[in-house]
Structures are given as structure tokens and as C-alpha cells.
Structure 1
Amino acid sequence: MIHKLLQKAKKDKNISLNEMLQLIDEWNTFYNKADQAYWLVNLAERRFIFVSPSCEKICGVPPEAFYRDVEAWKKVIHPEDREKVQKRRSVLWKGSCFEDEYRIIHQQDGTVRWVLDQTFPTFDENGKLAMLSGVVTDITEIRKMREKLLLAEKVYEHVPHAVLITDENGLIQFINPAFTEITGYGAEAIGLSLDFLHSGYYNENFYKTIRKTVIEKGQWRGRLRGRRKNGEVYVQQTTITAIHDEEGRPIFYLFIFSENGETITSLKDDLKLAQEVQKRVLSKPLKTESIDIYGMYVPSEELGGDMYAWYQIDNDRYGIFLMDVMGHGVAASLICMSVRSLLNGVIRKCIYPKEVFHELNKHMRLLYHEDGRMNTYYFTAVYVMVNTKKRFIEYASAGHPPGFLFHKDGLVEELDRGCAPIGLLSYLHVETGKLDYTPGATLVLYSDGVIEEANHSVRANIEMFREKLKSFIHLESRSMIAHMNKMFKEEYQFVDDISLVVAKLH
């Protein structure tokens, strides 16, 4: 932005430097983001002539320090990165732009942060380098998510079981190295149907029966004969799982197979261990004088896409979050865990529902939509900020079933304002809601697995669930969760993951 203003100043002779700086300052006042800092240096005078106030939040140094010392930024750069950064910046003197990611040390709290530094040279009418302008963006959370995504990719690369994913038409979209090792087929398999893997031992009705089972029950397991690229026939233990969208339509089919039953048993053990890890990252019960929060999670398969978490933001405010990734199984679990890794920082930084959802949407779009291969991954969520001092909640629901606020006098209000699911759109228009409460109120959040009853409409299922909750609303949170868990096991078939969060507001 600053670079564009400088170019405009070169074209419009009527714009003075002071007028241009005033434009920059006005723009900064209205649009400046807390994770970005803008600056401008006059090389002839070797001094900063503009530094946006947000720099203090990013690096712990106020703008005044840069005005006093043009070398102040060098002291902020991590000692191990200083020499590398200085060498790379030498391109500026040749008239090229500079862009690099490196570490800095926050001068107030001592934390190490990652930044994206973009610097642009600006020349005078004689072609002489006159000014430098730039923007510094805090990308610490983005770097953490990249690392976790890389870890997930490495797991797929090195798992000893073949992993194959097709679209709803049966065309292959993804394979892992173990698939190539077992079958002999590599990248040439992408985009093909599964026919080339058929061994010739089964007729078309056999495969139709498998497809029908997967569509109706969501999964098929059994032993199949397959044919390698070299023509050799082998026996594989296979699990085929349908991955559905929010409306229940199958959009992907996940195949996991190995050459014998012993390895598939080992995979089951690994998935059970992963399930335990996933359960352990869920927030533990929280009980204070002003609030009592308790949760329950029951996955429909070995791994699920539901997750809940809550945090005490300060003495009077609490953030409660519940999400449900589109589909379930391994893919949903990986996305769920990546969101969980950054959620604490997002909620403590953004606090309010609109800002929290915008930040999560930005991360989802960056990680899962950048190359266009994962553009169907998104999740629904509900986030509630509870202010126990002023006794109100502020909330937003991202395509998620409406939560309930049960008042002590019997009134029930639904949390029905919000936006589209997180990651589905490049920009979210978030509508938030605000509800007051008195001591004795109960907040209930849940995932859509609770209301997936095929014999009724979604609206009817929501109302039936609300009526069932009334029978237990007088109980304290732990007892209420226990009774609901018993009810779920007796009445539900667990076609989807189930999550339930109860918060008693004192």
C-alpha cells in the first residue's frame, strides 16, 4: 500500500511528502491490522519518516524508537538470522524488491515470532534510490499450522498401509507411497477409475454389492484380490469408507488396504491410539464461582471430526468453542487437530466471535485451499464469549446447529445468528448475537450428530432435542452430561460423531 502511494506521488507533482504521510496515517488509522506494520525510510537522511503503531504489538518496540534509531530493527531480528537477512537485503541496492521470512524477538515479552518482511525500493526522477517502504506481517501462527500440516503429510507418506481416495464418481484423487509400493502404480493412477486394479476374479455384481454397502452403511471391510501393475494377483485386507458432505451426500471414498490381516490389525491399534490422543486434547471440566463447564464427545468411528474447547480469557470472560469438520475419519481428524493447535492463541488474541471466525477462516483458506486440491474441506462451528461480570453472552454460529440458552424462568433462546461454515468462502460476513442472562441460566452447545434422525426434519429434531434437555436442565453440568450420555447410548445409532457442552452460568 505504501509503495503504491509512493508511485502515485512520483506521478502527481502536487502531492507533497507531508500530504502523502498524512494519507498513510489516515489509512493506517482506519485499516491497519494488528498483525501488520508499515514503514517508510528516507535514505538521504537515513531515518524513518513513518512507522505504523501496530509495530509495537508485533515486535514490542514503539514507533518512537525507530524514529530515534534507524538501526533499531536490526536489534529485533533473532541473532541467528541477522547475518542471513542482511545478505539477502543487499538486492535492494540493485533496485530489486526484498521478501523473506525470519524470526524476531519480541522486546517486551521475549517470545520468538516469525515475520514476513516485504520491502520495496523507490527511486527519484534521476533513477537514484531514494526511499524504502515495506510491510512486516506476523506469521507465527501460520508457520505453526504449516509445520503441523507437513507432519500430517509425512504421516501419509510413511504409513505402511496403502491409502487411496476417489471422488464420488470413483476417480482416483490421491495415493500414498505405500499404494505405489504394493500395486506398482504411481502418479499415472490419478484421475483413473478403479477398474485397472480389478483382478478378474469377481463379476460386476460383486463390486455393485460393495458399493451398495458403502453407500447404505458408510463402510465396507473385507478381503479382496487385486492385480499389480506387473500382472501379479495378490490378496489385500481392505476398508472402504464413504466421506459425506453436510447434507449427507458422498463426496469421497477412502480406501485403506494391506497385503495381510496382521498389518490391518496393527492399523486398527494405531487408530485406537490416535483416538485416545484426540480425546486427551479436549478441554477438561472448568469450575469457578461464576461458571461451570463440562463436555462429552463420542466418535462414530475410530477417529472423528468433532472437537470442543474452552479458555478463560481474563478474570471475567470465557471463550467456549465447538466445531464439526465436514465428514469424519482420518482426514477430518487431521483438520480438527490442526485447528485445535492454534485455537488458544486465536481466542485470546481475537476474543469476539466475528474476529475469531475471520481468523480461523483465513487459516483454513491458506492451508487447505492454496493449491486447489483440498477445496472441499471446511467445518461448522459455534463460538460463545461469556462475560460473567456483566452477565451476557456474545456468539456466532458458522453453519452449525443452534445452541440453547435456558433461562431459570423457563425461557429458552436459540443461538441462531452467524455465517457460512469456516473455510467454505474466501470472505465471511459474520452476524453476531448477544443475549443477557441471570444467575441459574444454562448454555448448551452440540454437534449435528445429536439431531441426525432420519424420520424427521432437521427443525423437528432440534425441537425434540430441546425438549429432552428440559428434563435434565435442573442438574449440575456433570450430572446432566452423564444422563445425556446414557440417553444417547440407549436411543442413538451413532451415524455421526456426537459432542455436547454444558455451561452453568452462576
Structure 2
Amino acid sequence: MVDPGNVKGKCLESITDNIIQSMAHHIAVIDQQGDILIVNSAWSDYTRINGGDPEETGVGSNYFTVSDRETVRKIKTVLDGTTDRVVVEYPCHAPREKRWFAMNVTPLMDFNRNNIIGAVITHMDVTDRKLLELRQQKDLDMAKSIQKRVVLEPIEQENITVKGFYLASDQLSGDLYAWYKISSHQYGVILLDIMGHGVTAGMMSMAIRSMLEGIITDEIEPGKVYLKLNEQFHKFFKSGRGYKNFFCTGIYMLIDTDEKSISYINAGHPGAVGLSGNESFILSSANPPIGLSKEPDVKTGKVQVSEKTKLLLYTDGFTDSMNMRLSDGESFILQEMHLNDDIHEHFEKIVSDLNRKDDIAIVSVSFE
């Protein structure tokens, strides 16, 4: 008499084997010692097509003997239950084409005894994704190169020096700065921090960067520059789908070396820290970020300075990366400004050593 349970078990076993054999990914099942128990058709076909030896990669061979030491170590962490899954990407280039695969290792369980008896190793062809990533990386590198090329040369005059630098958290920076000589004694200096970071913020910063010279040299006064930038944000970025909440913080200064004055607008940005002689000052925010309000009530500020004056403008990536509140950051910057004459070189070194959480841009200004 036929045992129905035995027939059902054989049917399930046959279905399971058919499923494994039908899968497009290359699959091998190994035991605790690394001996190959099962391979599917895709695995065997790949070996044959690429001139491999079935005796080295087929049933009965040992997977560990054809794998490097690090791969064997990772597989064993699945076999001993240390990890639930291991994924390793690796190149496997042919003479006429480049190929990449991802090895996925999961435990083979004996559910009756609740223990691991081996591992299922799946090799997936990820060449299309890898080639796309390489093309995207090439495009990003080009965009990064373009972004660096548009950075302005420092102003180094007898009575004023303006320098800047930025370090991006990703391939492109959402921070940007610029400065322009408006007259023999007036200079416009601006630092902006685009919402977010990475590719989108970087591309937006480049679009805004193209507008700055015209806006600053035409409008000149801080309040007018703020309003013009705000108008441009609403005109170009608010009409596009997905950019309704797009904005940036920023600070713009009009420096007059004859009057020894700094007129400024701060739009939701960390306050610029200044030191004139022994007197310190902060150019604090009094306005919403650029692009948030369609008709903002603009508040500008002005400070008179004397003797030797130094200022530092920075984006909040600086204080965030130092795990400081803005107020603590201001105190720290002021302390370092008292101790160092060349604040640009000093703060560039500090920023370069940080574990950055966001884009960081810093602009230093000094004048007599």
C-alpha cells in the first residue's frame, strides 16, 4: 500500500528541486564543511560557458577551496549563526566584457532540529547596476569639477583680504560663497547654505551661483540683494513640482573700507563672528530664510569697526560636525580668533580634520 505522506513528501521535494533549477540566479547549496550538495542549471551553465571546471565548482567539490580567505570567513559567520546574511559584490570580468556579481549567503536550516546544516549561496549578475553607478559617478565627478572651477579667486588687496573654502559631505556641495568688488572701497560678500546636501543641493547652488554677480553688483544694498534673491527663488524654484519647500539660509555683507562699516542681512543663517581690535560682534539673523516668505519684512543691520578687523562666516555644517550648539560655536570661534592672526588657515585646518556630517563652507574677511 502506498504511503500518502511519503508520496506528498516526494512531490514537495521534486517541486523544491524544480524551483531551484528554474531560477535565473546561480545557486549552490553547501554543507557545514563547504562541500557542494546542489547546484542549479544556471550555475552549471555559467561554469560551462566561461570555461570553468565542473569538478572544481560542481556537486561534490568544495566551495571553500576555490574561494579567497575573506570570502570563506564571511560564509562561516553564516554557518555558525553569527550573522543571518552575507552579501559580497565582486568583479568577474571576461576578456571582452566587464561583469560584476553579488554573492548572497543565507543559512540552510533543519527546522525539525532548529539548527543550521549548511548555506544557500546565490550569485546574482549586477553588471547593469554597476555600469549605471559608474556612469553616474563619472557625471558626478564632472559636476564636482565644474563646481570647483567657478570658485572665485581670493581678494587680496592692501586694505582687505577675502578667502573661502568648502568641503562637501557628498560629491557636490550645497554651500556656496562669492564676493565682488563694487567700487574702490566697497565689497559685497555672500555665503549661502542650500537646503539639504548632495546632488540636488549641489546643482541648485550652481544655478543660484550664476545669478549672484548680477544681483550683487546691481542691487548692492543688503536689503535689496535679499529681496532680489528671494524673488528669484520664487520665480525659478517655487513653480517647479517638488520644490515648494525649497529655500536657503544666507548672510550678505556690504563692506565699506573707507567708512569702516559693515552693512548686512542675515536670513536664518548662523551669525558671522567678528573681532575689531578687542571688541567682538555677531551679525545675527533677523530675517526668514531666502525663499520661505513671498513678501518678507526685511531687517538689515550695520556695524562700525575700528582698528584691525576679522570676520568669519560659516555654514551650520561646521558647528554640527563639532557637536556644538550655535551659541557654543560662536564662543569657540571668537576664542580661536583671539589666539590666531591668520584665521583662514587656522579654521581650514580645523574643518579638514572634522568627521563631517554636512557640507561645510567658511569665508574669512580681514581688513584694516
| TM-score normalised by length of structure 2 | 0.64
Q: Distance in 2 between matches of 1:411 and 1:346?
A: 32
Percent identity between the two aligned chains: 29
Q: Distance in 2 between matches of 1:485 and 1:310?
A: 19
Give the direction of change, closer, same or farther, for the CA distance of 1:301–1:405 in structure 2 (3 Å limit). Answer: same
Q: Does 1:487 align with 2:356?
A: no
Q: CA deviation at 1:223?
A: 6.7
Give the direction of change, closer, same or farther, for the CA distance of 1:236–1:447 in structure 2 (3 Å limit). Answer: farther
Does the aligned pair in 2 maintain the 1:443–1:505 contact within 8 Å?
no
Amino acid at match of 1:445: L
Aligned partner of 1:459 in structure 2 is 327
- Residues 185-210 of structure 1: per-residue CA shift (max 9 Å, x gap): xxxxxxxxxxxxxxxxxxxxx9xxxx
- Residues 105-124 of structure 1: per-residue CA shift (max 9 Å, x gap): xxxxxxxxxxxxxxxxxxxx
Aligned partner of 1:503 in structure 2 is 365
Give the direction of change, closer, same or farther, for the CA distance of 1:425–1:471 in structure 2 (3 Å limit). Answer: same
Aligned partner of 2:5 in structure 1 is none
Q: Distance in 1 between matches of 2:125 and 2:220?
A: 50
Q: Distance in 2 between matches of 1:388 and 1:350?
A: 19
Aligned partner of 2:268 in structure 1 is 399
**2:188 maps to which of 307, 311, 319:** 319
Map 1:372-391; keep pairs closer than 5 Å.
373-391=242-260
Give the direction of change, closer, same or farther, for the CA distance of 1:269–1:371 in structure 2 (3 Å limit). Answer: closer
Amino acid at match of 1:370: S
| Count of aligned pairs between the two proteins | 253
Deviating above 6 A after TM superposition, structure 1's stretches of 4 or more consecutive aligned residues are 222-225, 234-237
- Residues 349-381 of structure 1: per-residue CA shift (max 9 Å, x gap): 110111001000001011111255311111111
Q: Does 1:357 align with 2:219?
A: no
**2:299 maps to which of 418, 431, 434:** 431
Q: Name the SS for the 1:260 alignment partner.
A: helix
Map 1:26-425; keep pairs closer than 5 Å.
259-371=128-240, 373-408=242-277, 410-425=278-293
Q: Distance in 1 between matches of 2:323 and 2:154?
A: 34
- Residues 92-145 of structure 1: per-residue CA shift (max 9 Å, x gap): xxxxxxxxxxxxxxxxxxxxxxxxxxxxxxxxxxxxxxxxxxxxxxxxxxxxxx
Q: Name the SS for the 1:496 alignment partner.
A: coil
Amino acid at match of 1:501: V
Q: Distance in 2 between matches of 1:223 and 1:459?
A: 48
Q: Does 1:447 align with 2:315?
A: yes
Does the aligned pair in 2 maintain the 1:384–1:395 contact within 8 Å?
yes
Q: Distance in 2 between matches of 1:362 and 1:471?
A: 41
Amino acid at match of 1:353: P
Give the direction of change, closer, same or farther, for the CA distance of 1:440–1:461 in structure 2 (3 Å limit). Answer: closer
Q: Name the SS for the 2:291 alignment partner.
A: coil
Does the aligned pair in 1 maintain the 2:173–2:359 contact within 8 Å?
yes
Does the aligned pair in 1 maintain the 2:270–2:314 contact within 8 Å?
yes
Does the aligned pair in 1 maintain the 2:175–2:205 contact within 8 Å?
yes
Q: CA RMSD in A?
A: 2.6
- Residues 296-331 of structure 1: per-residue CA shift (max 9 Å, x gap): 111111011000100001111100000010101111
| Bigger Rg over Cα | 2
Give the direction of change, closer, same or farther, for the CA distance of 1:274–1:362 in structure 2 (3 Å limit). Answer: same
Does the aligned pair in 2 maintain the 1:417–1:431 contact within 8 Å?
no
Does the aligned pair in 1 maintain the 2:321–2:358 contact within 8 Å?
no
Does the aligned pair in 1 maintain the 2:275–2:337 contact within 8 Å?
no
Q: CA deviation at 1:275?
A: 1.1
| Structure 1 unaligned regions, length at least 5 | 1-205, 207-221, 226-233, 238-257
Q: Name the SS for the 1:327 alignment partner.
A: coil
Aligned partner of 2:87 in structure 1 is none
Q: Name the SS for the 1:311 alignment partner.
A: strand
Give the direction of change, closer, same or farther, for the CA distance of 1:236–1:374 in structure 2 (3 Å limit). Answer: farther
Give the direction of change, closer, same or farther, for the CA distance of 1:271–1:372 in structure 2 (3 Å limit). Answer: closer
Give the direction of change, closer, same or farther, for the CA distance of 1:319–1:307 in structure 2 (3 Å limit). Answer: same
Q: CA deviation at 1:489?
A: 2.6
Q: CA deviation at 1:427?
A: 1.6
Q: Distance in 1 between matches of 2:132 and 2:212?
A: 35
| TM-score normalised by length of structure 1 | 0.47
